[in-house]
Amino acid sequence: MDYWLVSTEIQDDFTKTSIIPAIKTDHSAITLTLNSIDRQPFGPSYWKSNSSRLDDAAYVHLVTPKYHEWLDEFKDDNDKRVLWDLIKYRIRQVSIKYSKERARERRNRLAETEQN
């Protein structure tokens, strides 16, 4: 049984699939060919941290004290991997909100500049 599980969202993007023999294994290799990337619709993607935020003093002053709050919030989690994932999740939430607020402020400043 050699197979790939794919989400229904990308299921129609495959143009070709095949199962071919593989060397030194009892499994077969599976090849999947997708539509060209330029034909893919744009949409929400994975969030990636903007590391330039670390040079933004306001952002650093926002996140730093929250770290200790999060440690206290998740103090009952004994698994350090779970704790780290929870803290990363909180950092992501704060970072996205901060970035959206800054983008809105920039748009407003540009709009004001264009009106003057």
pLDDT in tens, 13-68: 888 888 888 888 878 888 888 876 666 666 666 778 888 999 999 999 999 999 99
Mean pLDDT of 78-96: 90
Under DSSP, is residue 71 helix (H, G, I), strand (E, B) or coil?
Answer: helix
Which residues, 6+ apart, have CB-to-CB distance to 66 below 8 Å?
90, 94
pLDDT at residue 25, rounded to an integer = 80
pLDDT at residue 62, rounded to an integer = 93
- Whose CA is closest to 70, among 91, 54, 49, 48? 91
pLDDT at residue 39, rounded to an integer = 66
- Whose CA is closest to 2, among 21, 10, 11? 21
Domain ranges of the chain: 8-39, 51-115
Mean pLDDT of 90-95: 92
Residue 10, pLDDT above cutoff 90: no
Identify each DSSP E strand in the chain by its residue range.
14-20, 29-34
Residue 69, pLDDT above cutoff 80: yes
Which pTM does this prediction carry? 0.56
pLDDT at residue 97, rounded to an integer = 92
